[in-house]
Chains A and B, each alone.
Chain A
Amino acid sequence: AQSVTQPDIHITVSEGASLELRCNYSYGATPYLFWYVQSPGQGLQLLLKYFSGDTLVQGIKGFEAEFKRSQSSFNLRKPSVHWSDAAEYFCAVGAGDTGFQKLVFGTGTRLLVSP
């Protein structure tokens, strides 16, 4: 069965510093991978996705993620964090026999940004 692990429950980063959020997945075939962000009281917004091709994908708000098959990882990065980036971040893997039909989510990482 598919699964996603986000090992960091909380991360605190100073504003302007770089950020990396970790995500490891378990899936037998080529995965469809996603990062979503959830601000307090809001739904989920898609940051970026990986389906195939270039393993470094660019997303919105200056985020990027790199797919590393050998490590079963899809870590999210941002070179300079802004206070408005404080939110909950979810990694997800697409599961299904043809393409993907549903998502399995990790437990999330809460990002705190200090001044």
Chain B
Amino acid sequence: SAVISQKPSRDICQRGTSLTIQCQVDSQVTMMFWYRQQPGQSLTLIATANQGSEATYESGFVIDKFPISRPNLTFSTLTVSNMSPEDSSIYLCSVRNQGDNSPLHFGNGTRLTVT
């Protein structure tokens, strides 16, 4: 399975600032996703990162708050903008290859604390 590296692994940020999280995969993958896991909660899909075009956002998530880039088939970034304490969560990158019913594989996540 693909090896997924996320940076940073954790960060503490002040409210009003922005943080960009990077996701690097060791092989080309068709699909990349960003999930959020709030404290004590399950995972919620933020968006699907599309190569060369705008990401597809789930209900309740908007591009201005969570801009996403995907310049190629192995890399994506998620930015958490104008942060507030409510954005304190684990953000996880996940990948899969469409068409072969391969499962989702996850990175180790980025633990974000906003003060």
Contacts and interface: CB of A to CB of B under 8 A. Distances in A.
Interface in B63-115: 92, 94, 98-99, 101, 103-109, 111
Interface stretch (A16-24, A61-69, A70-78, A102-110): A102-110
Interface of A: 32, 34, 36, 41-46, 49, 51, 90, 99-108
Given A43-B92, A46-B105, A101 B98 contact: yes
Interface residues of B, number: 23
Contacts, number: 47
A99 B103 contact: no
Contact of A51 (B33, B42, B43, B101): B101
A interface secondary structure, majority: strand
B101 A102 contact: no
List 8 A-B pairs, minimum CB-CB distance, nearest first. Answer: A43-B108, A44-B106, A43-B106, A105-B43, A105-B42, A107-B42, A43-B109, A49-B103
A90 B109 CA distance: 16
Interface of B: 1, 4, 31, 33, 41-45, 48, 92, 94, 98-99, 101, 103-109, 111
